[in-house]
Structure 1
């Protein structure tokens, strides 16, 4: 037997009422009187109502809100993909906190979830050849503001292209901006 909308919503509402989420139940369209009556029902009464052939509930779709939520879902999916890519490219906890806003615990958990194990301690300092590669690659992309989505993408591209750690690239760039070798707009 396929559960009806009556059964699905009543189950949800009864549980919400037990947990004290009255406003949530009201937001579904129930009146205070109906909610009061629902709290007085026995399990058999709720089962009878749930399995009734008469549909007393309807589904309505807020198409505008659904469209916005689908767009937001796509943004979140892209955010998660970019985050996982950054982690796989050697982004440090500090880097992920700076560009993605995740805490240390969240970064560690995310690394575990994707099966990424990072050695403890500081990253090795890049050699002169790596520094030169990063310098020329950064000059080529022409990004001026280090705290921008464009900079994040450029650093990830450089890390991927030259097989360098994202954190090493970021640390070099921060150092060069601090030393005024590079200038932000």
Structure 2
């Protein structure tokens, strides 16, 4: 957090005080009460200046009692894991030549995010678009796609299913998306 020589205790105090100052600025009195900040502390927070927080970074104590709410902590960690997996799946799809229209349909992805992720994927593979699947590849895809649809409620494939189809039939996601959209 801090780039200047300081103490981890003072980093905690600075972070909590900045949070409290923001809550005060936004009028979030519920959050201030949860920090056990009463009227006297509010008055003191109003007087704090940036130089005070910088001075605080030199002190090896914090005077703050922090407790983890385990149920919230584990919920947050699970959400982070899920978000990480979701981001990895997007990168895998784009690396497998998923077109923007597919990423928009599956994730609501905009063109800016698509271009950013695609730049990283293009660096890892040869340029140019994947060729259109030939008749044999199209037939293999049709059968694999139908089998996959039968396994899904409402016949709606998940993003992972498209990756598995690409691996199974050897067709790029761009080709898979184009063909399956024609077939639906």
Q: Same fold (TM over 0.5)?
A: yes
The structural deviation recorded for 1:76 is 0.8
Query: What is the number of residues matched between the two proteins?
Result: 170
Q: 1:70 to 1:42 in 2, by over 3 A?
A: closer
Structure with the largest fraction of helix: 2
Match of 1:168 among 147, 155, 175: 175
In 2, distance between residues paired with 1:43 and 1:103? 39
The TM-score with structure 2 as length reference comes to 0.73
Corresponding residue for 1:180? none
| Unmatched tracts of structure 1, length 5 or more | 178-185
2:21 is the alignment partner of 1:21? no
RMSD: 3.1
The TM-score with structure 1 as length reference comes to 0.73
- Structure 1 segment 29-178 matched on structure 2, within 5 A: 29-41=36-48, 55-112=62-119, 114-116=120-122, 119=128, 124-141=131-148, 142-143=150-151, 145-149=154-158, 152-177=159-184
Do the aligned residues in 1 keep the contact of 2:7 with 2:58 (CA within 8 Å)?
no
In 2, distance between residues paired with 1:99 and 1:21? 36
Q: 1:161 to 1:53 in 2, by over 3 A?
A: closer
| Unmatched tracts of structure 2, length 5 or more | 1-5
